[in-house]
Amino acid sequence: MAQPDSKKIFFENLSGAGKAIAVLTSGGDAQGMNAAVRAVVRMGLYVGAKVYFIHEGYQGMVDGGENIKEATWESVSSMLQVGGTVIGSARCKEFRTHEGRLKAAHNLVQQGITNLCVIGGDGSLTGANLFREEWSGLLTELVEQGLIEADAVQKYSALHIVGMVGSIDNDFCGTDMTIGTDSALHRIIEVVDAIMTTAQSHQRTFVLEVMGRHCGYLALVSALACGADWVLIPEMPPEDGWEEKMCQKLSANRAVMKRLNIIIVAEGAIDRNNKPITTEYVKNLVVKCLGFDTRVTILGHVQRGGTPSAFDRILASRMGVEAVLALLETTANTPACVVSLCGNQSVRLPLMECVQMTQEVQRAMDGKRFEEAVRLRGRSFENNLRTYKLLAHRKPESELPISNFNVAVLNVGAPAAGMNAAVRSAVRVGISEGHKMFAVSDGFEGFYKGQIKEIKWADVGGWTGQGGSLLGTKRTLPAKHVEKIAEQMRKHNINALLIVGGFEAFESLLQLYEARAAYEEFCIPMCMLPATISNNVPGTDLSIGADTALNAIVETCDRIKQSASGTKRRVFIIETMGGYCGYLASVGGLAAGADAAYIYEEPFDIRDLQANVEHLTEKMKTSIQRGLVLRNENCNENYTTDFIYQLYSEEGKGVFDSRKNVLGHMQQGGAPSPFDRNFGTKISAKAMQWVTKKLVETFRHGRVFANTEDSCCLLGMRRRALVFQPVVQLKDETDFVHRIPKEQWWLKLRPLMKILAKYKTSYDVSDSGQLEHVVRNRPKESDASVAM
């Protein structure tokens, strides 16, 4: 008899029976907190625990009574797409006192609660840890005061704490992204994109203030995402004399026919003497020195508001489930931990190690040790800053290295949002490295036709926020035209190639590698960046463009579900793109709160469809008013969207009616999300630095000659790291018939979607975080920051 996999949830060894878990949100609100609360409640109930809401944060814990309520499955319905926190958050001075914590302990013991899931910032989490350390002493006091029985001290002897960081500032060390940061970036970029159109019309300069009293992450990443002319952040104050340099930069940009300037200022921006730099000061400076028409926009609490992005919903859902697992596995000796994100993986870190490092950042800034502050923020922050400097500030021609190398960049396959950001980054980094950059229009079709021209620094200005492919892209593969392509490479003396695209780009690179045997022109460094909404390229967990498509799906699903608000019970069948890859349907389903998602990778039959209908029927009878079912376009040739729609319509008669929607190419259009802009920008910069390194390594006897496997690579994100992988070695990992990788990480998220939709299923926890330490939680080559 086969042994059960010890890494699966089995109720005999990971049961929550008899446990009580309470969830609270504290400090400033952040979009995605509700998704985290929903995940904690539903996962807690799934494993058999009792789950409680603590309303109004620590204030509710101190006040007790109606503020501590038992949660049900239905009580977290329809909250996934809601911003803020529906269970409330409040600052609580009383909890900072011993008397306040004594009241809180009494209220928890009355409900039998010894497991706390705290969603908040470093202050909230520090308070939770102090509460945990004092717990046994507090219980002893309560016994002495006659408020609880003596046996309660033994019964509730330990308080277990797991934290999730909810903060739009992304100011907590130990995690690449905090809940709410991506959504705040969405708000900022929406405003910046809108401002750019009016600024261009009037040739204006706009100074924007974004949140970040002690952390410049939002300012820095939004500056990267919109190609701002200047950014001011607290961790890296500008050098003395920055005012003159900034005005020179603005003036130089206007001289090359740029009609607008954008300056982004973090609210906590300071100079080298710790003196605040305000938006008003910057505006007056520009008006005085340059005479430009200049306006100030302070975004304020707009950044906290609105619906959470797809990224934040998925992040919060994954963290919420991980938090419950951590609480189930904790012992009396386990330190309080925080659930974090490293690359594309959940990790658990000791809460106080993270808090102490976060406090060290502030101490470094107070002591004017700014380089140390940037380093302590983590590799992601460091890399963002380095990339921004590389792309925003062009060195004078006299300071550029002279490499005499020509590098061509092209797009291949279907367009994907973020391609243009990647091309802009490649061009500017290439020029900074001393190369001459060439743009190829219309992919390999344009290549063999000779549609190749030099592209300069200013030519890619404003490309970051543009959707589609400004270079033009085609699905044409090079195999049939290698001779003509080789001829064009000779003609333009192309020494390296950067291809941005999807599965066709991967196939193209394989064909060019194989053509090396016949054509020496292809014996050059070649690199591919994955860019496709389908996220079906082998060798990478994420592709440029997939996040934008996910947001389009999630926003549409929200609207579609809302259309049934107040009407009779209704189920929506929605078809997504993706070819044979079920990424968009599965991850979109998790982010939108779908009841089912049909994909090719997980075969299903009529019995599965019937079981799904019956499951939805039961839910409709007892609680929910709206159901959501996603179907990948190629999941099954017989069970079409029409078939599933008709099946649900027939079987749901008398309980619910059905509607169908085919989302189509709206998933491919629109402006790129902040994630895709930054992901494209950063991996492209890294790829160009790799290209430079390979060009130097392979330049011998007056020419470049590279014919090894490692000179023809795909740059992808694997779990925690960005990795250059020879495309030849990825062949065995690829299903070429269905154009998908043979193994796909996101399939492990599917049981999570089912659990949150009230299905009984096993959940693979092989990737669940073991407790690590903050000092060694990132490998050397990391900088994966899946996020930003």
- Residues designated catalytic: 169
Three-state SS at 456: coil
Burial of 199 (0-12, 13-18, 19+ CB in 10 A): buried
Beta-strand relationship, 436-440 and 337-342: unpaired
Instruction: Select from 203, 201, 260, 202 the least CA-distant residue to 227.
Output: 260
Alpha carbon of residue 69 to chain centroid: 32
**How many angstroms separate the CA atoms of 600 and 539, rounded?**
20
Angle at 111 between CA 107 and CA 114, to 5 degrees: 85
Name beta bridge partners: 265.
209, 232
Name beta bridge partners: 135.
none
**How many angstroms separate the CA atoms of 439 and 425, rounded?**
13
φ, ψ at 672 (rounded to 5°):
-65, 145
3-state helix/strand/coil string of 301-369: HHHHCCCCCHHHHHHHHHHHHHHHHHHHHCCCCCCCEEEEEECCEEEEEEHHHHHHHHHHHHHHHHCCC
Q: Is 529 in contact with 422 (CB distance < 8 Å)?
A: yes
Q: Is 470 in contact with 441 (CB distance < 8 Å)?
A: no
Q: Is 733 in contact with 744 (CB distance < 8 Å)?
A: no
DSSP letter, residue 580: T
**How many angstroms separate the CA atoms of 325 and 330, rounded?**
9
What does the block give as tokens for 615? Answer: 């499951």
Angle at 458 between CA 455 and CA 463, to 5 degrees: 85
Q: Is 486 in contact with 519 (CB distance < 8 Å)?
A: yes
Three-state SS at 530: strand
Query: Within a 10 A sphere around the Cβ of 402, how many other Cβ atoms?
Result: 8
φ, ψ at 618 (rounded to 5°):
-65, -45
* CA R_g for the chain: 27
**How many angstroms separate the CA atoms of 158 and 164, rounded?**
20
φ, ψ at 163 (rounded to 5°):
-110, 150
Residue type at 254?
R
N residues, the chain: 788
Q: What is the C-alpha end-to-end distance of the chain, expressed in Å?
A: 47
